[in-house]
Amino acid sequence: MKNWIEQDEDHSSADILKDQLGLSKIVASLMIKRGVQDPVIADQFLTPKLKHLQDPFLIQNMEAAVNRIFVAREKKHQVLIVGDYDVDGISSTVMTKQGLKSLDIHADTIIPQRITEGYGLTKKVLQRGLQGMDYSLVIALDCGTNSVEEARYLSEQGIDLLVVDHHQLKSGNPPLAILVNPHLQEDHGQPWRNLCTTGLCFKLIHALYKKARELDLPDADQLTPRDFLPLCAIGTLADLVPLQGESRIFSHFGIKRLFHDASPGLRALLKECGMNESMEPETEDITYKLAPRINACGRLNEPETAVALLLESDEKDCKKLATRLTELNEQRKGIEAELTADALAQAEKYFADQPAVVVTGSGDGWHPGVVGIVAGKLANSLNKPCLVLAKSEDEYTGSGRGIPGLNLVEILSHCQDYLTHWGGHPIAVGLGLKESELEAFTKKFTECTNRLFSPTTERPTLLIDAVVEPQELNYKLLADINSLGPFGQDNPEPVIAVKGIMLETPPRKISKGKHFQFSFHNGFDFIRGIAWRMGKNIPPHGQSIDLAFKLRRNYWNGRSSLQLVLEDWKTTCG
């Protein structure tokens, strides 16, 4: 059971916001609790508009990038796109290829083979991609910011490099390339600063289309970047970037237009995920249904399968490829379950009293494609940073996941003498090291973590955003809450509480007791709920209890209903 913390109400500020913008009481209250008191800022947040997107040419080097691409168009040069193997990289690859195609620029695509070629713009993937072709330009997406040697390798062959990326520069020496990366310019709170690569590719395509109209190219006035909003939203939500500024605009409109602007391949994938046009897509439809299937391709060394699906137009081939993505995702789940059990046992045995966890393994069960997911599960359950490393020959490679308030990139920067490669984001990193350095690295990593973070033994807290009456549980409340969506990083889904309710019948265990379903009557209707992974913490029936939950819409057999997704419960006090 968690320690519930109910946020204080600022009724006067909420009333001002409510009256000035015509908001409901709960929406005004939620905005105030998120630190938004300015009516103009609140209105922009609640009603995002595409016209609020800034000029893409404000991003450093965007003009140089556009000019170089138009040189390729003018001279009919071949272009090679190299994308990362995650959702952001794959979506960016598809967006950029389609954007260039709309301007009559031919581009080939290649995605690194995770196991044999490693992450990002490596020499191995370049050698495979360049073989037998005469390219003048390589576009690296979601990678390349730190590829100094690879940029030199291309330059020696007379090939230019354009990098569109959002990763941090690890040293003061960027590669010899046109770099479109907001993190390489000063932070002035620009609304596009924290875009992931799909967001930056949208900006690039927008800039290309503006240039096309400026040059008065044939049919340039028919080109619109809006067609790329669905893939932009998928990459944005899957990559866990802050949903503020332009990331919020992209995710808002991308989800809204998910079916309307879906390509045949994306439409087939949506159908494979059990989604259709009658549904109102939510963040979790992306993060728990679409994204894992796309990611599974990269994790299990078939990244080109996801690219092929999203570029395909034949319905039969789309259906076949979408089914393949599901097959790969099921394989990933099986590997992940075994690896998680092994990693958790190691963590509990060797790192129970340590501020961080470094677990390792080898063999088929320790698949390098799923170590990131396992690291995330360990970090969430143990509330400490966790690295999961798989051994191949004399080297360990893997991923790490952190916790709020701790910067893994900063910690690894103090340990880089032991690493062959490393990089990532504050809460998610990738790394590699020689077997001979493992013991020294583990000691250094835990020491650095200890200086910056101390794990707590206190009960985890649960922030309650609003307390409502049982009779207020209706579609109006759901619509009010969803007006703050899409939810994700830096815009968490509100946790609502209802007090003093009574379950008239015992909750029903499902999935071999891992989860349970429950229901109660609120005076008007029966309200149903689901509790994921809470099978060992079932509330009593016939007794007054309080529930903390997220309010959702559930779809089943073509019908929708309200559903509570339980976060916690406790016995009613007093």
pTM above 0.95, yes or no: no
> Same structural domain for residues 558 and 519?
yes
In the prediction, which pLDDT does 503 show? 95
**Average pLDDT value for the chain:** 94
| Claim to verify: residue 551 and residue 534 sit in the same structural domain | yes
Q: Check whether residue 399 and residue 513 sit in a common domain.
A: no
Q: CATH number for the domain including 442?
A: 3.10.310.30
pLDDT exceeds cutoff 90 at 277: no
> Tell me, what DSSP letter sits at residue 24?
-
What mean pLDDT do residues 459-464 have?
A: 85
User: Strand, helix or coil at 16?
Assistant: helix
Domain boundary among 431, 452, 473: 452
- Please report whether residue 561 resides in a domain: yes
Any domain includes 30: no
Q: What is the pLDDT of residue 574?
A: 65
Please check whether residue 263 lies inside any domain of the structure.
no
Cis before 486 (ω within 30): yes
Local confidence band at 493 (pLDDT 50, 70, 90 cut-offs): very high
The reported pLDDT for the residue numbered 201 is 98
Query: Of 407, 434, 452, which closes a domain?
Result: 452
Overall average pLDDT of the 394-420 stretch: 92
Q: For residue 279, is pLDDT > 90?
A: no
CA distance 464 to 454: 25
User: Do residue 359 and residue 380 come from a single domain?
Assistant: yes
**How far is it, in rounded angstroms, from Cα 258 to Cα 250?**
11
Among 54-68, 142-156, 411-425, the minimum mean pLDDT is found in: 411-425
Same domain? For 60 and 201 the reply is: yes
pLDDT at 455: 57
End-to-end Cα separation, the chain, in angstroms: 18
Question: What pLDDT, on a 0 to 100 scale, did the predictor assign at position 458?
Answer: 61
pLDDT in tens, 85-103: 999 999 999 999 999 999 9
pLDDT over 90 (residue 485): yes
Q: Is the pLDDT of residue 276 over 90?
A: no
Residue 475 sits in the same domain as residue 447: no
Say how far apart CA 425 and CA 419 lie, in whole Å. 17
Q: How far is 295 from 289, CA to CA, in rounded Å?
A: 11
Do the domain assignments include residue 526? yes
Compute the average pLDDT of residues 53-78. 97
CB atoms within 10 A of CB 559: 8
Domain shared by 109 and 176, yes or no: yes
Confidence at residue 280, expressed as pLDDT on a 0 to 100 scale: 86
Asked if the structure places residue 32 within a domain, the reply is: no
The yes-or-no verdict on residue 236 having pLDDT over 70 is yes
User: What is the arithmetic mean of pLDDT over 422-448?
Assistant: 92
Residue 520: enclosing H or E segment and its boundaries? strand 515-521
Domain presence at residue 437: yes
- What is the average pLDDT across 392-420? 91
Domain of 137 in residue numbering reads as: 56-223
CATH number, domain containing residue 171: 3.90.1640.30
- Give yes or no for residue 460 having a pLDDT over 80: no
Q: What is the pLDDT of residue 84?
A: 95
Distance CA 568, CA 4 (A): 9
Domain end position, chosen among 452, 474, 489: 452
Residue 288: alpha-carbon gap to chain centroid:
10
Instruction: Please report the pLDDT score of residue 344 as a whole number.
Output: 94
Assigned domain for 485 exists = yes
Decide if pLDDT at 1 tops 90. no
Q: Is 155 exposed, middle or buried (0-12, 13-18, 19+ CB in 10 A)?
A: middle
369 and 499 share a domain?
Answer: no
pLDDT in tens, 19-49: 999 999 999 999 999 999 999 999 999 999 9
pLDDT tens column, 103-154: 999 999 999 998 888 888 999 999 999 998 999 999 999 999 999 999 999 9
pLDDT of residue 215 exceeding 60: yes
Same domain, 390 and 512: no
Q: What is the DSSP letter of 541?
A: S
Domain count, the chain: 3
Report the distance separating Cα 82 and Cα 118, nearest Å: 13
Residue 412 pLDDT greater than 90, yes or no: yes
Is there a domain that residue 472 lies in? yes
Burial category of 512 from C-beta neighbours within 10 Å (exposed 0-12, middle 13-18, buried 19 and up): exposed
Do 478 and 436 lie in a common domain? no
Q: Are residues 203 and 78 in the same domain?
A: yes
CATH of the domain at 481: 2.40.50.460
Tell me, what's the pLDDT at 85? 94
How many Å apart are CA 247 and CA 232, to the nearest integer? 9
Same domain, 406 and 369: yes
Share of residues in the chain with pLDDT > 70 (%): 99
